[in-house]
């Protein structure tokens, strides 16, 4: 049907407001509107179920769209335009001329944004970041139940607020998803939201001594009673597993115990876990093997259980002052692996394979440099086999 009931409900607040301001009989106005709804004539309030934005259907660019949609309804009983709709058109035109254009975002637009991200296999914790970013914007503008409305002035106010609260990199990320949402809602402001492109390079150098210091901080928090024993053990195992294997934080949180061959010190990362959607293997040291084995047995961690969840890994670094003040975060364990491998003159191609770097642009790895799991393990043992943190 070209006109859906929920779409009609969206314009009711404007009808009520207009009626109050012009002393119009609401009963008569709604009666005529409902008649038009029933006869389904000439009303198009945007795409219905199954339609994608941009396929020729009218889109809710702003408040005037909804007003004009109501205005377009013809009264089948009398064959003339609704008298009150004509007044509404005058009000909408005056609003447009005065520069008070209001842009509309519906809940359907939000669903389409999240659907697009999920279809691209965006990591769950990143999807939550996007939702927080969008909800922050929605809380700043006006809500009318099933949709939100804002003016350019309100958008500028929100952007200034973001600039004051976040560094340039985070601000740019927030803006990226606003632009995606505007594109889906066909709000013609996307091209006006520009930021300076910056290359964020983390030049942190991580050494064995740095990781030892981090582990000692975790132990100190346990001694003070700020962490319980299980959290301490879980953090140490997770940090050292990443430091010695080179896996990503997100990949570790998606791994199950059954994906880790503790006996042979091997981690199997499947396509659905890998960021590049390419399965691979990597390894860890004998010191970590002992810690991991004790952890699994001590806390009765089952084959289908994760070693650590994303928030269990990140939360102590957000809540505990001593860890917040540390320059290292879980993500730096992977950086340590790469740097330590280079310091020990390890083969760069093998390092890329173990870390799961994208090889689409690397012709050598893609077509020529192939290794068996046994060969990779032998090279790993030569480079990092004697790595110790003396935990």
Question: Do 32 and 179 fall into the same domain?
Answer: no
**CA 349 – CA 75 distance, rounded (Å):** 73
Mean pLDDT, residues 261-266: 97
Banded pLDDT at 173 (limits 50, 70, 90): confident
Give Cα separations from 377 to 124, 239, 345, 371, 383 (angstroms).
31, 21, 16, 10, 10
Please report whether residue 263 resides in a domain.
yes
Is residue 164 predicted with pLDDT exceeding 70? yes
Q: Is the pLDDT of residue 341 over 90?
A: yes
Q: Collapsing DSSP states into helix, strand and coil, what is residue 7?
A: helix
Kind plus residue range of the DSSP H or E element containing 19: helix 5-21
Q: Are residues 111 and 84 in the same domain?
A: no
For the entire predicted model, the pTM comes to: 0.60
* pLDDT bracket for residue 383 (50, 70, 90): very high
Q: Tell me, what's the pLDDT at 92?
A: 39
Same domain, 288 and 380: yes
Quote the mean pLDDT of the chain. Answer: 79
Q: Are residues 166 and 84 in the same domain?
A: no
CA angle 369, 370, 372 (to 5 degrees): 150
Last residue of one domain, picked from the residues 42, 74, 101 = 101
Please tell me the predicted confidence (pLDDT) of residue 353: 92
Residue 150 has pLDDT above 90, yes or no: yes
- Read off the CATH number of the domain in which 342 is found: 1.10.443.10
Whether residue 138 sits in one domain with residue 20: no
Query: Would you place residue 19 in the very low, low, confident or very high pLDDT band (cuts 50, 70, 90)?
Result: low
Residue 131 lies in a domain: yes
Separation of alpha carbons 118 and 240, rounded Å: 31
Query: Quick one: tokens of 319?
Result: 């809540």
Instruction: For residue 112, give the H/E element and its range.
Output: helix 107-119
Q: Percentage of the chain surpassing pLDDT 90?
A: 50
Looking at the fold, whether 239 and 174 belong to one and the same domain comes out as no
Element (H, E) at 271: none
Phi-psi region of 82 (alpha: psi -120 to 50; beta: other; left: phi over 0): beta
170 C-beta neighbours (distance < 10 Å), count: 13
**What 3-state DSSP class applies to 62?**
strand
Residue 372, CB-side half-sphere exposure with 13 Å CA sphere: 3
Looking at residue 36, what is its pLDDT?
54
Indicate whether 129 and 218 sit together in one domain. Answer: no
Confidence of residue 46 (pLDDT cuts 50, 70, 90): very low
**What are the distances in angstroms from CA 61 to CA 150, 186, 314?**
11, 6, 40
Q: How far apart are CA 240 and CA 236, in angstroms?
A: 6
Q: What are residue 147's DSSP bridge partners?
A: 106
Sign of the dihedral defined by the CA atoms of residues 240, 244, 247, 252, in that order: negative
Q: Is residue 85 part of a domain?
A: yes
List pLDDT tens digits, range 53-104: 443 444 444 444 444 444 444 333 333 333 433 433 333 333 444 457 889 9
Which of 85, 101, 117 is where one domain is finished? 101
Query: Alpha-carbon distance 35 to 29, whole Å?
Result: 10
Domain of residue 141, residue span? 107-192
**Average pLDDT of 353-360?**
81
Classify 104 as helix, strand or coil. Answer: strand
In a domain, 11, yes or no: yes
In a domain, 91, yes or no: yes
Of all helices (H) and strands (E), which one includes residue 280? strand 280-283
266 DSSP 8-state letter: E
Instruction: Say if residue 42 is in the same domain as residue 172.
Output: no
Residue 253 lies in a domain: yes
Helix, strand, coil proportions of the chain in percent (round to 5)?
60, 5, 35
Within a domain: 389 = no
Band (pLDDT 50/70/90 cuts) for residue 391 is confident
If asked whether residues 160 and 184 sit together in one domain, one would say yes
Asked whether residue 260 falls in the same domain as residue 351, the answer is: yes
Domain finish residue from 101, 131, 155: 101
How many separate domains does the chain show?
A: 3
Who has greater pLDDT, 78 or 130? 130
Residue 391 lies in a domain: no
Q: How many CB atoms lie within 10 A of CB 260?
A: 22
Judge if 54 and 150 occupy the same domain. no
* Confidence at residue 210, expressed as pLDDT on a 0 to 100 scale: 96
Assess whether pLDDT exceeds 70 at residue 361.
Answer: no
* Tokens encoding 67: 């007003």
159 and 95 within one domain: no
Instruction: Look at 57-61, 192-196, 276-280, 286-290 and tell me which has the smallest mean pLDDT.
Output: 57-61
């Amino acid at each position: 049907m070209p006109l859906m009931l929920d779409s009609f409900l969206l314009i009711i607040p404007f009808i009520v407001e207009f009626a109050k301001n012009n002393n119009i009989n609401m009963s008569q106005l709604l009666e005529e509107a409902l008649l038009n709804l029933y006869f389904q004539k000439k009303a198009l309030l945007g795409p219905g179920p199954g339609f994608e934005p941009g396929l020729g259907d009218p889109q809710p660019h702003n408040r005037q769209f909804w007003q004009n949609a109501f205005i377009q309804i013809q009264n089948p009983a009398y064959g003339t335009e609704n008298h009150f709709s004509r007044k509404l058109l005058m009000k909408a035109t005056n609003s447009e001329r005065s520069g008070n254009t209001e842009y509309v975002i519906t809940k359907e637009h939000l669903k389409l944004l999240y659907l697009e991200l999920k279809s691209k296999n965006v990591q769950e914790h990143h999807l939550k970041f996007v939702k927080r970013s969008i909800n922050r914007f929605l809380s700043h503008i006006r809500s009318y139940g099933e949709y939100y409305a804002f003016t350019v002035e309100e958008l500028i106010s929100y952007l200034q607020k973001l600039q004051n609260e976040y560094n340039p990199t985070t601000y740019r990320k927030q803006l990226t998803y606003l632009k995606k949402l505007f594109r889906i809602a066909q709000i013609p402001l996307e091209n006006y939201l520009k930021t300076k492109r910056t290359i964020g390079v983390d030049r942190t150098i991580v050494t064995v001594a740095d990781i030892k210091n981090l582990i000692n901080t975790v132990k100190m928090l346990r001694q003070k009673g700020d962490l319980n024993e299980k959290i301490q053990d879980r953090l140490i195992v997770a940090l050292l597993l990443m430091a010695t294997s080179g896996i990503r934080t997100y990949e570790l949180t998606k791994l199950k115990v059954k994906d880790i061959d503790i006996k042979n010190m091997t981690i199997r990362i499947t396509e659905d876990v890998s960021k590049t959607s390419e399965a691979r293997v990597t390894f860890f040291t004998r010191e970590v093997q002992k810690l991991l084995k004790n952890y699994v047995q001590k806390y009765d961690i089952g084959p289908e259980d994760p070693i650590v969840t994303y928030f269990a890994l990140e939360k102590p670094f957000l809540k505990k002052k001593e860890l917040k003040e540390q320059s290292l975060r879980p993500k730096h364990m992977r950086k340590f692996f790469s740097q330590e491998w280079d310091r020990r003159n390890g083969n760069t191609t093998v390092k890329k394979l173990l870390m799961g770097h994208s090889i689409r642009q690397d012709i050598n790895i893609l077509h020529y440099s192939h290794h068996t799991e046994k060969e990779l393990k032998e090279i790993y043992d030569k480079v990092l086999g004697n790595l110790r943190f003396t935990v």
